């Protein structure tokens, strides 16, 4: 039996409060205004069940030519050269890529080609450190391997040196203790490629995006994407200039743009399909990418790749099993099985350069959606952003 596809309709048809969603749209627009906006541009897509009740874009996909460190401001392009944000603008997903790597792994667990508690060394005996320390697939998926957050693979001379460093990397923390690490997903990528004989981009395309009709989701380059950073030292780790359509993450870039932790580009509507598929137990239209039991495995605490019930970016959606993730470039998504709602908030917060992360606007958007669910509205029109609409 086919699972219903998403359709655009009114908030009322979705069982959501229209006033709260109007406030959500207004506040997301406000995030792109002022001398130092939270983001140059934003896209928000939100809904409940099979209904998209909000799909809105604000600001600019490309606003700045460069960053001026002397004035600590962006050098704006002439108005005729700027590119407005649209709901169909692709974004560099950054760490949202980890969710697709995790789903690809659970697909192999469902098929019996990968054991969730199997030793990584059983699949990758040449990854000596992981083998010697008994790292498991589950530990990679739950960020409990003890591996450090990242390695400067971008500083290695070539792919041979990068692979040698990754193979030799031993845990620095206590296995079983949570430490969020890009290296977990890089190792998981190598495990998946070894057990399937296919590269990660092929696994994601054939197993997730193609069956779901997510035609705007793929690894880069993606020339029409929202711009990210004027990437230069000392604030960045490489000197690449203003980036648009090339992956922002320096390690993913050094690895050729396809990496387990970063590299995917996508749109708000495509990510809504991804959320809806998981909320529907792994099916969308006639396609099934996971069985319901394996979606449950994916989203059971502590979550496999997904973060669960994190108010710092989910707001009041957190608390009853909400799952999601954020990305360094300004991306985020949340799906809440308890209310059958989803929220995708995409922003190019690193355009024209990276700043200290501020997820208060993400949390506030989550709170708006939570309050929009019928019977939970506490709105009264007040903004849930602490200290004002934009935050710091």
Joined together, the tokens standing for residue 249 give 């993450």
Cα separation, 371 vs 18, whole angstroms: 11
pLDDT attached to residue 189: 98
How far, in Å, are 109, 126, 163 from residue 145 at the CA level?
19, 17, 19
Asked which of 1-15, 177-191, 317-331 is least confident by mean pLDDT, the reply is 1-15
Could you tell me the pLDDT band of residue 100, with boundaries at 50, 70 and 90?
very high
Could you tell me the pLDDT band of residue 1, with boundaries at 50, 70 and 90?
low
Cα separation, 168 vs 7, whole angstroms: 49
Ramachandran angles phi, psi of 56, nearest 5°:
-140, 145
Report the pLDDT averaged over residues 342-371.
97
Residue ranges of E strands in the chain: 7-8, 41-48, 51-62, 64-68, 73-76, 83-84, 91-92, 218-219, 230-231, 241-242, 264-266, 283-284, 287-288, 307-308, 323-327, 331-336, 341-347
pLDDT attached to residue 109: 98
Full-model pTM: 0.96
pLDDT attached to residue 97: 99
21 within 8 A of 372, measured Cβ to Cβ: yes
Joined together, the tokens standing for residue 318 give 């957190």
Could you tell me the pLDDT band of residue 185, with boundaries at 50, 70 and 90?
very high
Closest CA to 46 of 282, 211, 198, 272: 272
How far, in Å, are 8, 25, 45 from residue 377 at the CA level?
22, 16, 19
Question: Is residue 376 predicted with pLDDT exceeding 90?
Answer: no
Write out the DSSP string of 156-214: SSSHHHHHHHHHHPPP-S-TTS----HHHHHHHHHHHHHHHSS-HHHHHIIIIIHHHT-
Question: Is residue 5 predicted with pLDDT exceeding 70?
Answer: yes
Write out the DSSP string of 255-283: TTS--SSS-EEE-HHHHHHHHHHHHTTSE
pLDDT attached to residue 369: 98
Is residue 63 reached through a cis peptide bond, with omega within 30 degrees of 0 on the bond before it?
no
Could you tell me the pLDDT band of residue 84, with boundaries at 50, 70 and 90?
very high
Residues 210, 294, 146, 233: what is their CA dihedral angle, to the nearest 10 degrees?
20
Question: Is residue 377 predicted with pLDDT exceeding 60?
Answer: no
Asked which of 65-79, 312-326, 361-375 is least confident by mean pLDDT, the reply is 361-375
Cα separation, 14 vs 31, whole angstroms: 25
Cα separation, 110 vs 105, whole angstroms: 9
pLDDT attached to residue 374: 65
The H or E element containing residue 23 is helix 18-30
Cα separation, 241 vs 315, whole angstroms: 35
pLDDT attached to residue 120: 98
Could you tell me the pLDDT band of residue 301, with boundaries at 50, 70 and 90?
very high
Q: What is the pLDDT of residues 129-160, one digit of tens each?
A: 999 999 999 999 999 999 999 999 999 999 99
Closest CA to 361 of 96, 56, 26, 67: 26
Could you tell me the pLDDT band of residue 295, with boundaries at 50, 70 and 90?
very high
Question: Is residue 222 predicted with pLDDT exceeding 70?
Answer: yes
Report the pLDDT averaged over residues 309-338.
98
Could you tell me the pLDDT band of residue 308, with boundaries at 50, 70 and 90?
very high
Name beta bridge partners: 332: 326, 345
110-137 exposure pattern, b = at least 16 Cβ within 10 A, e = fewer: beeebebeebbbebbeebebbbebebbb
Length of the chain: 392
Q: What is the pLDDT of residues 114-126, one digit of tens each?
A: 999 999 999 999 9
How far, in Å, are 321, 330, 339, 359, 360 from residue 311 at the CA level?
11, 17, 16, 10, 10
């Amino acid at each position: 039996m086919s699972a219903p596809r998403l359709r655009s309709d009114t908030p009322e048809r979705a069982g959501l409060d229209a006033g709260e969603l109007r406030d959500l749209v207004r506040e997301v627009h406000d995030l792109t205004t002022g001398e130092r906006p939270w983001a140059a541009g934003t896209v928000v897509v939100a809904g409940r069940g099979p209904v998209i009740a909000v799909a809105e874009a604000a600001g600019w996909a490309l606003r700045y030519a460069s960053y001026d460190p002397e004035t600590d401001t962006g050098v704006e392009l002439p108005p005729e050269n700027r590119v407005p944000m649209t709901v169909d603008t692709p974004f560099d997903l950054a760490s949202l890529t980890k969710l697709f790597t995790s789903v690809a792994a659970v697909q192999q667990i469902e098929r019996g080609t990968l054991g969730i508690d199997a030793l990584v060394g059983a699949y990758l005996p040449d990854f000596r450190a992981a083998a010697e320390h008994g790292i498991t697939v589950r530990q990679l998926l739950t960020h409990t391997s003890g591996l450090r957050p990242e390695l400067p693979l971008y500083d290695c001379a070539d792919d041979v040196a990068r692979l040698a460093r990754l193979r030799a990397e031993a845990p620095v923390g206590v296995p079983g203790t949570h430490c969020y690490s890009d290296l977990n997903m890089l190792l998981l990528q190598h495990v998946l490629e070894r057990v399937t004989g296919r590269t990660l981009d092929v696994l994601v395309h054939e197993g997730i995006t193609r069956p779901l009709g997510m035609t705007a989701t793929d690894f880069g380059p993606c020339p029409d994407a929202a711009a990210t950073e004027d990437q230069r030292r000392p604030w960045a780790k490489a000197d690449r200039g203003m980036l648009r359509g090339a992956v922002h993450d320096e390690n993913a870039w050094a690895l050729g743009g396809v990496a387990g932790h970063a590299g995917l580009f996508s749109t708000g509507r495509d990510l809504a399909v991804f959320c809806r598929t998981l909320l529907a137990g792994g099916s969308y239209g006639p396609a099934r990418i996971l069985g319901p039991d394996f979606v449950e495995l994916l989203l059971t605490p502590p979550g496999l790749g997904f973060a669960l019930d994190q108010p710092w970016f989910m707001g009041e959606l957190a608390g009853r099993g909400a799952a999601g993730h954020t990305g360094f470039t300004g991306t985020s998504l949340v799906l809440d099985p308890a209310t059958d709602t989803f929220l995708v908030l995409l922003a190019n917060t690193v355009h024209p350069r990276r700043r200290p992360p501020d997820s208060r606007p993400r949390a506030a958007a989550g709170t708006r959606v939570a309050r929009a669910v019928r019977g939970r509205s506490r709105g009264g029109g007040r903004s849930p952003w602490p200290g004002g609409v934009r935050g710091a």
